[in-house]
Amino acid sequence: MMRALLWRNISVHIIASLPLALTAYEYFTNTLPIVVDRHLVIRFGAVGLAFLVASFSITPIGILSGKPNLVPIRRPLGVYGFCYITLHLLAYLWLSNGFDWPLIARDIGERRAMSIGLLAFALLIPLALTSTNGWQKRLGRRWKVLHRLVYFAVPLSILHYFWLERDIKDWVFVYATLVILLFTIRLPAIRQSLRAHVNVRK
């Protein structure tokens, strides 16, 4: 059991390091696209959203399977999601705009995707800062209440993705459908019904 958990944690760390390893490889081999800023903004944003949704899916997977043994990897998935979203924001601020704050402020004011994205990021900050065992003990029951902010952060992140000016939105609809399903499984009546069904199968 402990060995399986250890390997799951190691797998999460390895998978999470792959986008950075790919970026480093592209940098040192001079194979980054010409428009580096857009490439990295999109890559880090997409990876961050993927990890965020993966973390959000752990509880529903436990409900459906009747096996909550994946819960320990929920935290690292969420933290990695936050880290990549931070890189996404940093790439936007630095590479795309050179920390030109008046330009950034104008962009945020003119594009609704930017303001929604910043709101989602702001909601993730307290979740990341209080994700440790120490904060969980300090906050007690308030910790669970605080971490329900993820219920707003995830849909807002997908809305940010949807409102970006892109022609192809296939993945946005995939994420939206998946998150709707994950929310549905979390509904008390649905959750109890699913758990009862899983217990009967056992």
Alpha carbon distances (Å) from 96 to 3, 54, 63, 68: 44, 28, 42, 42
Alpha carbon distances (Å) from 178 to 32, 83, 157, 173, 184: 31, 22, 13, 8, 10
Give 200's pLDDT tier (boundaries 50, 70, 90): low
Give 25's pLDDT tier (boundaries 50, 70, 90): very high
Give 202's pLDDT tier (boundaries 50, 70, 90): low
- Is the pLDDT reported for residue 26 higher than 80? yes
Which residue bears the tokens 């995707």?
A: 113
Q: Are 51 and 18 in contact (CB under 8 A)?
A: no
Tell me how far apart the alpha carbons of residues 158 and 196 are, in angstroms, rounded to a whole number.
32
Tell me how far apart the alpha carbons of residues 12 and 100 are, in angstroms, rounded to a whole number.
36
The structure tokens listed for 200 are 């009967």
Q: Are 162 and 111 in contact (CB under 8 A)?
A: no
